[in-house]
Amino acid sequence: MSDPSEILICSNQSFLKGYFCCNPSFSISQPVKAPKVPEKAVTVAASLDGVMLPMKDGKRKEKREQNKSDGKRTRGPAGCQEASCGTLSFYDTQGERLSTVRIGRMPESKKVTLKNSLSELLDEALRQKPDLTLVKVADGAKDNWTFLANELPEGHEIVDFYHAAEHLKKAFDLSYGENSAKSKEKFTTYRHILKEEFEGVERVIKALVYQYKRHPRRSKLKTELEYFRNNRARMQYAEHLSQNLPIGSGVIEAACKTLVTRRMKCSGMRWRLPGGQGILTLRSLIQSKLFDNGWKLLAVTYCCKVTKTGVNNVIPFPSQKTE
């Protein structure tokens, strides 16, 4: 009998929920056959990010009652928690992306499982091809860089250029007025400097220091200045572009959208961990072109050699936790 289709498995949430109740730590780093590094790959980029997900057990009512008693707003995503996504992308000598392995995990403290899975995948990639250049790309979130800088092997560290540009835009809006002609002019000029000039971030910092001296009471402007100061070593964009290394986190942003948002944030949806993780893991395997390998592990739970017909050799689905 042939294996089931990807669509059939992904649409059968009760099947997935039963499996992941009993196997909560199953992840994309476990397939029988590890992902093969493309032959032309010279660079590997590791990224991670998070996306808020509406949860059934997100203590929505309790949070809103607490907000009400604290005098805070009682509307908004009170029942949401942060799901996490990770990617490992391979690039050729021209900087063209060859393939990407995607990982999705339901909300978990400090993204422990996601980080472990990403580390295992990277270790395997470097084992297959030790001369790969490692690039670590993310936005400026502190937790992301604590992991990327301290727990992964040494490599190039880059703050996503487009997040940096958003901070630059905000800084000039604070200086000259939101969306004013002068703000737009300065942003266009310094965005080019930041991306195209070697040590361009130093010129950006000098410009923002000048603006802060003109407006010393604008605390938000100081916050933007500190953002560039704290991340200056990770903003050498011209240098990285000259080596055909990626400078943007568009791959991980797209993974958050295609793995989580499109499927799990439709109107009225709320999730519990087992069912949600089932969806995320299967979508990760499919988008990473690892479905066949992943299915081998899933199928083992439900396969048994049948020697005769009878009630004693019926294989029950794994027991599910009562809700």
Q: What is the mean pLDDT of residues 32-37?
A: 73
- Domain positions in the chain are 1-159+250-293, 161-247
CA-to-CA dists, residue 218 to 187, 205, 231, 306, angstroms: 18, 16, 21, 74
pLDDT of residue 62: 73
Region of 54 please: left (phi>0), alpha (psi -120 to 50) or beta: beta
pLDDT tens string 201-239: 999 999 999 999 999 999 999 999 999 999 999 999 999
Q: Is the pLDDT of residue 277 over 50?
A: yes
The pLDDT mean for the chain works out to: 86
Which amino acid is it at 38? P
Measured distance CA(287)–CA(115) in Å, rounded: 19
pLDDT tens string 114-156: 999 999 999 999 999 999 999 999 999 999 999 999 999 999 9
Q: Is the pLDDT of residue 1 over 50?
A: no
Angle at 260 between CA 105 and CA 6, to 5 degrees: 85
pTM of the entire predicted model: 0.82
Nearest to 276 by CA among 296, 252, 259: 259
Q: Is the pLDDT of residue 37 over 80?
A: yes
Give 88's strand partners.
46, 101
